[in-house]
Structure 1
Amino acid sequence: MLTIRAVPRRDDNSLLAAYHAGLRRHWPCGARALAQLLARTGQGGWSSSERQLLPDAVRQAGLSMRDRKGMHRLLNQGAFPFAANPLKNKQLFAEVAQAAGLPVAASCDPARHDLEHWLAGETDIIAKPSFRSKGQGVERFQRGEAGWYGIDGAIADARLLARLRALCQAGGVIQRRLPTHHVLESLSPGALPTLRVVTCLNEAGVPEACGLALRLSAGGVRPVDNFNAGNLVLGVDDQGRCLTGWLGGGGRPVANDRHPATGAAIVGTPVPDLVEALALAARAHLAFAEFTVIGWDVGLTGDGPVLIEGNWNPGTDILQLVTGQGLADMRLGMLYRHHLARLSTECWRTARVVEWDRRGR
């Protein structure tokens, strides 16, 4: 994968202006010319899917996926190589979170524990590959009277063990599936619902929760709640209650006041343990303090909020969708501008027009 910084001659809003002006000011002529060429040929800015997702007024003050990645790469200098990035390497994330005493799902590392013995005590597990995003490759396995089975049906114990060991050798993790909070069971029937909480170091260097969206499973066989996988995302009002849900999966999002599969009312439902979940995200940021901005997935379980993962390059599209605001007009955009203004000359100069997303050294 590549990070591409396509820089147009004019910027739509103050956030893009702060980002692009820094690049223009510190880049040599050749780099500026290449970045402008990429912009003219459509390599930057809004994709066609984002144009369907967000209205013109939001995009005018917004941040596209392409610009977001280049900006986050500047703000989160420790993101590469991925192998050393605890917000990309799932095994490393689990180690850091556990060492910090953060609540995470029970898991098994076959390199340290007897996987076969651990599985004997489990009935419902989730297998997650590392270095992936948007729920790609996530699988669920359940144990019934006849043995283990997954999305493709029954799977022999020996085959499951081999599959899970190979996953872990490639950096993935195996976790116990967590129970959904009873308030949200009918609103997220296929997967654990998660709060996406974006925390950013504020002007005093303290983690601040300044972006929030609730993700719900629309049902189906995949054990994920990601919006891009055809699930629901929604905002939360000042009283901690659910707003209208937006159904994703391609094309224009569809507004839903009730769950499309269960018929349960979405709007007005209180989000359980919201204050505790926000506090957990801010506390977790302290354990990953080398990052300026982090997008947390906090699971809303029957036993309280649990940290699922952190993201070094958190998506901003869903935040802009559920709030109806472009990022430049949000508190988060204000903090981005604050940190961009304080980047060193070296950071700007070493930013490349095109950069390879290195996994290893």
Structure 2
Amino acid sequence: MRALPVRGDRGNPLLRAYHDGLTRHWTPMQRVAGHLISAIGRGGWTAGERLYLSDTVRDRGLSMRDRKGLHRLLNPAAFPLADNPLKNKQLFARMAAGLPLPDACDPDRDDLDRWLDAQSDIIAKPSYCSKGQGVERFTREGAQWRGCDGMLDAARLADHLRHVWARGGVIQTRLPTHDALIALSPGALPTLRIVTCLNEAGDPEICDMALRLSVGGPRPVDNFNAGNLVLAVQPNGRCGPAWRSGGRRPPSRHSRHPATGAVIEGLLLPDHQAACALAARAHDHFRDGFTLIGWDIGMTAQGPVLIEGNWNPGTDIVQLVNGRGLADSRLGILYRHALDRLSEQAWRDARAVQRDRR
């Protein structure tokens, strides 16, 4: 849904560029529909965003509801989802060939049973999901495997993994965490979210980054909305304080890991420059139809590894850790640059309610 505020966007140049473009190109009926979506409260900031983003940040920020419509304009290759390599995980693995990726098994081409015999710790991820939904970890214990729902033998595990694959998911080796980060992310591989955007010269430019750390627990994910930690990383690789989701309470600030006590604030992130180089290189593989991409780079013992790309990367966490709205950032400037260069047809195709089949 694309909500069109009746009263405009005050001093937010990013939202003004987005909403003015819609207003200029929409028919009167589309504008009425956009105003109605705004009037019923389906646009702007959610209660959760209001909880952890200050008024100052939100005045110059980009909400979750607005960003999806904006990203849909800037990343036309996102739909249909079945053809979107940043949503279809099997397609992503094929297109990212040549980049450092987790070791994986393709049951259509590989012997899954033989592959499992050589593994001791694996991850299964469903396709078309986000925020760590449906991710499963299985660890070998003797002749059996332990998952989040208990023990199962190799044959049952193989059957389950073939079902995951048949529905578009992927099966991967669980990567070991970089030695310097083990105490900072005890429950899952830490990932560096790096947002790249094509700049004025058409080159991928690194615009924002945030490190995500697990606090521990049974779920093998480091997502902020799952109760984990997120923090800003400066261009020189220096880490800021971490923020932990508080659910219905404001997020809490931590200079040390809440479970292990390891120091977070001030840490110099290992392999930072290599991770940045990987993100820029990856965007070159996926530049057709994608102006901006949010990359998840695994910080492993073997160096940075490309986990996935996101066509609709969340802007809430970067606004939280940086303490500023997106309109005041380099990424906001490049958003406006890309909006200024959209075709009239692209604006007209951006409907108030847009639903695409997978």
The TM-score bracket by the shorter chain reads over 0.9
1:118 to 1:6, Cα distance in 2 relative to 1, 3 A: same
Counterpart in the other structure of 1:102 = 99
SS at match of 2:15: helix
User: CA–CA distance in 1 between the matches of 2:124 and 2:326?
Assistant: 33
Residue ranges of structure 2 left out of the alignment (5+ in a row) = none
User: CA–CA distance in 1 between the matches of 2:345 and 2:263?
Assistant: 52
Per the TM alignment, residue 358 of structure 1 is displaced from its structure 2 partner at its CA by 2.2
Question: Is 1:138 matched with 2:135?
Answer: yes
Counterpart in the other structure of 2:157 = 160
SS at match of 2:176: coil
Which amino acid counterpart does residue 131 of structure 1 have in structure 2?
Y
Residue ranges of structure 1 left out of the alignment (5+ in a row) = none
User: CA–CA distance in 1 between the matches of 2:30 and 2:102?
Assistant: 45
Deviates more, 1:250-259 or 1:275-284: 250-259
Q: Judge conservation of contact 1:229–1:249 (CA < 8 Å) in 2.
A: no
Counterpart in the other structure of 2:46 = 47
SS at match of 1:356: coil
Aligned-CA RMSD value: 0.8
Structure 2 counterparts to residues 102-121 of structure 1, below 5 A: 102-121=99-118
SS at match of 2:304: strand
Per the TM alignment, residue 249 of structure 1 is displaced from its structure 2 partner at its CA by 5.1
Percent identity, please.
63
Deviation digits for residues 71-114 of structure 1 (CA, Å, limit 9, x no counterpart): 0000000100000000000000000111xx10000000111111
Which amino acid counterpart does residue 227 of structure 1 have in structure 2?
F
Structure 2 counterparts to residues 327-346 of structure 1, below 5 A: 327-346=326-345
Structure 2 counterparts to residues 179-328 of structure 1, below 5 A: 179-248=176-245, 250-251=247-248, 252-290=250-288, 291-328=290-327
Deviation digits for residues 212-260 of structure 1 (CA, Å, limit 9, x no counterpart): 0000001111000000111000012354221110001513111011111
Q: Judge conservation of contact 1:242–1:266 (CA < 8 Å) in 2.
A: yes
User: CA–CA distance in 1 between the matches of 2:19 and 2:209?
Assistant: 26
What TM-score does the superposition give when structure 2 sets the normalisation length?
0.98
Deviation digits for residues 47-87 of structure 1 (CA, Å, limit 9, x no counterpart): 00000010000000000000000000000001000000000
Per the TM alignment, residue 357 of structure 1 is displaced from its structure 2 partner at its CA by 3.6
SS at match of 2:318: helix
Counterpart in the other structure of 1:81 = 80
Counterpart in the other structure of 2:357 = 358
Deviation digits for residues 91-141 of structure 1 (CA, Å, limit 9, x no counterpart): 00000111xx10000000111111111000000000000000000000000
* Superposition misfits of 4+ residues, deviation over 6 angstroms: none
Report how many aligned residue pairs link the two structures: 354
User: CA–CA distance in 2 between the matches of 1:110 and 1:236?
Assistant: 38
Counterpart in the other structure of 2:64 = 65
